[in-house]
Chain A
């Protein structure tokens, strides 16, 4: 009889192996699937007087081929690769529009000064005056449309942050759920639920791409505990902590990431990794800076041309008006929604040449105001906010409506929206003040103010005391281009690393169809051999019966 039972174990083992091979073949294209294999062991032998008689085979377990070492390498590489991939996608949108020197600001500002040069040669000429107005409108429009475009990029960053945060929460809660289910199965069956483990690993991998997570496996429960950034717990056992995307305390039009309950902002530079981290870093390092730089150029151009224009005299003999619409009132001074007081802060440009491309924070401790430049942390303090802005000499003056409460804070963005407000203030060519301030009515050939304006093209005091309008723009193009190039280079290197890690992981855990085909033949033969056992046993039984007859 033992031949039958041994045959049954052999058939069962072959069936389990064929079923597992089929499962592997079926999941050859399933993301995150690790190939599985049947672990076989001999049954306990029966002791007889003539020794141990083997009792066949049993299926110990079906296990997935999983190397913790190789999996960890993939996890480490893929978050960085996703970060760089997202950064590259985002920065390309700026890189591709800044550099064109025939269109855009670079070409427009050249034509603007060329038009003033032409006017300086023919100050009374109507067409030359029309040329100046036309070129001025083109340069203002180029700054405007670039400003609008950057603003639309800000809006899409906001939308994308919200969407990514929703995905992060969904993955985190699914992983917590998986932790619970896996623990329940393992406690009751003592066998690993391979496919659920794969699914959980796949969810972790997807979450890791979004925010970069550290996985800590609980040695007793087998739960995955996930940490993001500087120790924020996303998943602990069967619980997940949601994050949220909401408006910044200063700016209702800017989305930041908060821990649940909207209390602690967790989106800061380089706090979060992965795609979400890339978006946040890109916004702060590249998009904000580009907006601020462009705004600074818009302000420097507007205020320097206006100052000279106001010192000149137009064709009607009148003193020059603003040539460009003034941008002195364009700085944003935003109060925190957490402020207990009602103080309204106002920032006004008072020296365009001193402006930086940084934003500033202003805090009040009950007695003293502290102004901090965010780009480098440089700060100034004084009990009087107007004195403070004079002391800091950052190109803007501050004034406050009433005393704030202790602990109130403000965000000052001196140049961020200036580009969106650039425009030409005059439309009558006669109002172009090409003549010197001492010109009398009829002095149509006086070109001294026009000449002075042409000299602005080479004036290196216009921006931070060491840049012309054009060189400042060139620096911006260089800066964005270099960052884009750096990201691209790093992405290429990181993609190679990730490829190697994935290749090693796939080499161990991926399904190879040739191997499965060979296995299929092998297990089929084992099955056929086991079946032969029954035939043999049956023949033996028949022989016995024939002896009896």
Chain B
């Protein structure tokens, strides 16, 4: 076959350019450690990587929500435990006060209960790590329990906040003071303690009337304690779910990261070998070009 001199030069140049382009592509893959440099390198892989990265981002968001929710509910759990202890104290005092006719002792109990009342008020008005009132419902900036002539007046609302911890699952991360402390019911511990103090300090209240008052206080405080313990149990259940959700999301995150790695990452060893081969190939083409270009009959005339 005849060879066109000019065309054979062009072909050689084209071959070198193609080999250089291949070499540069592999170099870029090695530099970025990514197999897919543009979507056209692997459209399906690129789209898959985008999907996985979306799932990964969502999973990381959920993980952050779970972490924040756990911190918050642990805080609430501690406060509820303290509240329960306060109510236990009130119950102990009520038991001690039962049948006592000694006004001095009753006065002593009353003083003690006034301190207890303040403790309870303090817990009910606890702020969380973000500086919001824990038991104010949605009214995070409002002191929820304000003491108005003895009884506590609830200023919060019934709002209960949730956050998303997985696709389709939201978990409650707060409990309104209204629920925890039975605001408005006969078992509102603030009202009960306040009434109990008044009764203890009332010298006219004796005998069976006094016994009835003590028993009422006992029953109401027990009910209030049950409410708090009930909420506390719910919080514990949520914390347990959060712990499980954390493991699930951590697994997802790991899985998504592995998948991204599999789809996107370049196999470094394979790429390094490829780079070597491409270099050799380019050098061979260049050498062949130099050799061939010296073979001319005109050189011998």
A-side residues, CB < 8 A to B, are 28-29, 91-92, 95-96, 98-99, 101, 106, 110-111, 113-114, 117-118, 120-125, 435, 439-440, 442-447, 451, 454-455, 457-458, 470-471, 473-475, 477-478, 480-482, 484-485, 488, 499, 502-503, 506-515, 517-518, 520-521
Contact = CB atoms under 8 A, between A and B. Distances in A.
B286 interface: no
B246 to A, nearest CB: 15
Given A512-B2, A512-B3, 6 more contacts: A118-B64, A124-B141, A445-B137, A445-B138, A477-B39, A512-B5
B61 A117 contact: yes
A474 B51 contact: yes
Nearest to B299: A517
A445 B132 contact: yes
A471 B53 CA distance: 11
Contact of B6 (A446, A507, A510): A510
Given A95-B39, A484-B39, A444 B139 contact: yes
Given A445-B159, A445-B174, A29 B6 contact: yes
11 contacts: A95-B39, A113-B58, A114-B64, A117-B164, A447-B162, A470-B50, A503-B11, A507-B1, A507-B3, A512-B2, A513-B297
Interface string B118-159: 000000000000101000111111100000000000000101
Nearest to A116: B61
A222 B137 CA distance: 94
A117 B65 contact: yes
A520 B297 CA distance: 11
A481 B174 contact: no
Contacts of B294: none
A293 to B, nearest CB: 14
Contacts of A444: 132, 138-141
A457 B61 CA distance: 12
Contacts of B297: 513-514, 517-518
A111 B44 CA distance: 24
Contacts of B164: 117, 120, 451, 454-455
Nearest to B260: A101
Contacts of A503: 7, 11
Interface string B37-70: 0111111101101110110011011101100110
A121 B162 CA distance: 8
Interface residues of B, number: 55
B141 A471 contact: no
Contacts of B36: 99
Given A95-B38, A124-B132, A444-B139, A481 B61 contact: no
A91 B161 CA distance: 48
Contact of A506 (B4, B50, B69, B140): B4
Nearest to B54: A470
- B40, B57, B68, B296: most-surrounded residue (chain A CB, <10 A): B40
A511 B61 CA distance: 69
A435 B138 contact: yes
B139 A443 contact: yes
Contacts of B138: 435, 439, 442-446
Contacts of A28: 5-6
B296 A514 contact: yes
A81 to B, nearest CB: 13
Contact of A122 (B38, B130, B139, B159): B130
A446 B161 contact: yes
Contact of B161 (A447, A455, A521): A447
B27 to A, nearest CB: 17
A442 B40 contact: no
Nearest to B129: A122
A474 B296 contact: no
A473 B39 CA distance: 13
B43 A445 contact: no
A445 B58 contact: no
Contacts of B54: 106, 110, 470-471, 474
B301 interface: yes
Interface of B: 1-7, 11, 36, 38-44, 46-47, 49-51, 53-54, 57-58, 60-62, 64-65, 68-69, 130, 132, 136-142, 157, 159, 161-164, 167, 170, 173-174, 296-298, 301
A261 B54 CA distance: 53
B164 to A, nearest CB: 6
A507 B159 contact: no
Contacts of A113: 57-58, 61
A27 to B, nearest CB: 9
Nearest to A65: B2
Contacts of A511: 4-6
A120 B60 contact: no
A86 to B, nearest CB: 16
B39 A447 contact: no
B39 A98 contact: yes
Contacts of B41: 481, 485
A513 B57 contact: no
B139 A445 contact: yes
Contacts of A439: 138
A432 B3 CA distance: 74
Contacts of A510: 2-7
B4 A478 contact: no
Given A110-B57, A518-B297, A442 B139 contact: yes
- A92, A125, A445: most-surrounded residue (chain B CB, <10 A): A445
Contacts of B1: 507
Contacts of B40: 91-92, 95, 480-482, 484-485, 488
A512 B4 CA distance: 5
B38 A481 contact: yes
A443 B62 CA distance: 24
A480 B39 contact: yes
B107 to A, nearest CB: 40
B46 A99 contact: yes
- Sort A-B residue pairs by CB-CB distance and give the 4 closest, nearest first: A510-B4, A481-B39, A481-B43, A484-B40
Nearest to B176: A445
A319 to B, nearest CB: 17
